[in-house]
A and B are shown apart, each in its own frame.
Chain A
């Protein structure tokens, strides 16, 4: 009977049923879309943030190694346990040199590095590594070095030497001189503007440090530090250590990289790592907050349209009460109606939201996402929550209907 009442009452008022359905579907769609991309957004934001700087610094340990790391160890970085979390790295070899161009002379730092080097590691996919990968914000006027005798010069240094793209700089160190053609001028906003960057091999030869590097900057995706992550691995039990090692804390990844670079010490660059974690947490809170707001808005819409149809339905409610329906029976009818609409709204909202998430992901992040399994129940539950929250006020009003007043005879 309840079913007959509901069916006929739906057929009788398709417009207001549709309005309620629409409000619920919208709420569920927004919740689905937001929650669906929230995980994706964090991941993508982490990637984007990652591009604003390396977060692990590898240096020669004071004890062993004699002040340098070995270039031949670098490919190992792409074979470690956390290799898929490592988005890029680049080696540096520093030396003090005398630059001269025209009648200008100046002592400064020459830096040998990779710009965008194709790195083939046996058994792994070939990747591109270098400054272009880990520091995409470097603003190079002109071109990146393409030949062994090309270099890019920091903007401040270039200004003082009065050189530009196409100029030549003679660089002298340890009695040897290498002439570089300036392929580009680089602006970074940092200390890099004081240096000259040239291909690693060339600088190794100039400094007579074949096969050596002074430091490596590594960019890795990490999870925000928590209390467990801050524990000293040395004091952990075996199980704890395993768990710690298998969580992508910046310290765990650093330790992992350190193990494959002979004579190295890895240090997390804390400032960036913790700022990132905090930012991602904030971002997630914002998404959650927006989701709750959207659900609140659609509950309000549900409430409004139910309220409106309640005015029209008060004779019917009065009549039901007059023939003996108690509050429970009246509530069952109204809650039954909204729950049925909310199931339909939840399903449609889920389908819409899934598409929406896909579109957002494609337009904003240029990638596709796969929606997690828990999203469907989440959509249905949010539809229920919206329906129940939106029914409270209308139901109260329905229960307050006085048959005598409405059924004046």
Chain B
């Protein structure tokens, strides 16, 4: 088995009395595609945000890519996010006043230096070579999600996180986005963690874990 890129021990996140994530021990080997399922409020996003360095655990240990996230300062977490993680949200979350290519360049800008040619070719890879200069409001939901994917992969992250990236898409667009992610993973060899409500989407992964009320209740390996 490949070495673990994510390693949690007793990882916990509570909000006052509410324990959104109960002590969780989990290992994710490098290169794995992990699907996370569970009903609403079961702690999927909570888990995701912790792994992506957007949130801090209240107890336990969390190592991602050899980095102990508990030891990082706020700016250290920001650096971790831009260098290590690509994130795709359910709502598209693009900057509304920037064009598609500028939205991709924004991630480059925070990471190092913006490179328009590179940003353009990333958009071409997700099939949006013809919509470079459009603003998010002028793109369909599926197109916006593909801009997000281009932005997420632009800095060659080791870890790609998707919190219901296809939650707002119809079947056809969903398949298109999933195929795209699969292709990109084949080339870039990043690890994928994908939260989803959709059983079919989950089957694109190597393994699925099920959360219930903040507890990992079941896990299932897909036949390869």
Contact = CB atoms under 8 A, between A and B. Distances in A.
Contact of B45 (A320, A327, A409): A409
Contacts of A118: none
Interface stretch (A4-12, A27-35, A336-344, A364-372): A4-12
Given A323-B110, A409-B89, 8 more contacts: A1-B105, A1-B108, A322-B87, A324-B81, A325-B110, A327-B75, A403-B54, A409-B164
Interface string A1-40: 1101100110110000000000000000000000000000
A323 B95 CA distance: 11
Contacts of A324: 78-83, 85, 107, 110-111
Given A329-B110, A403-B54, A322 B93 contact: yes
Contacts of A73: none
11 contacts: A1-B108, A1-B114, A4-B98, A5-B109, A8-B102, A315-B93, A320-B106, A323-B81, A324-B81, A324-B110, A326-B110
Contacts of A308: none
Contact of B89 (A4, A320, A407): A407
Chain B interface mostly:
helix
A12 B96 contact: yes
Interface string A311-350: 0000110011111111111000000000000000000000
B163 interface: yes
B98 A8 contact: yes
Contacts of B121: none
Interface string B88-116: 01110111111000100111111100100
B114 A409 contact: no
A275 interface: no
A2 B105 CA distance: 11
Contacts, number: 80
B109 A2 contact: yes
B75 A323 contact: no
Nearest to A10: B97
B90 A8 contact: no
B151 interface: yes
B78 A9 contact: no
A7 to B, nearest CB: 9
A236 interface: no
Contacts of B81: 322-324
Given A409-B89, A409-B90, A9 B82 contact: no
Nearest to B93: A319
A323 B98 contact: no
B49 interface: yes
Contacts of A408: 45
Contact of A404 (B55, B106, B110): B55
Interface of A: 1-2, 4-5, 8-9, 11-12, 315-316, 319-329, 403-404, 407-409
A326 B110 CA distance: 8
Contacts of B45: 408-409
Contacts of A325: 78, 82, 110
B168 to A, nearest CB: 10
A327 B98 contact: no
A404 B96 contact: no
A214 to B, nearest CB: 84
A337 to B, nearest CB: 12
A95 B85 CA distance: 104
A319 B110 CA distance: 12
A2 B110 CA distance: 10
A1 B109 contact: yes
Contacts of B151: 323
Contacts of B94: 319
Nearest to B91: A409
B102 A4 contact: yes
B106 A323 contact: yes
Given A326-B75, A327-B74, A1 B164 contact: no
A319 B75 contact: no
Contacts of A326: 74-75, 78-79, 110
A5 to B, nearest CB: 7
A2 to B, nearest CB: 7
A329 B79 CA distance: 11
Nearest to B87: A322
B78 A409 contact: no
B153 to A, nearest CB: 12
Nearest to B83: A324
Contacts of B111: 324
Contacts of B110: 320, 323-326, 329
A5 B93 CA distance: 16
A322 B87 CA distance: 8
A322 B54 contact: yes
Nearest to B56: A404
B114 A323 contact: no
Nearest to A324: B82
Contacts of B108: 1
Given A315-B93, A407-B93, A409-B45, A323 B107 contact: yes
Contacts of B96: 12, 316
A319 B144 CA distance: 15
A1 B98 CA distance: 11
A309 to B, nearest CB: 13
Nearest to B99: A8
A170 B110 CA distance: 100
A315 B107 CA distance: 16
Interface string B144-184: 00000001000000000001100000000000000000000
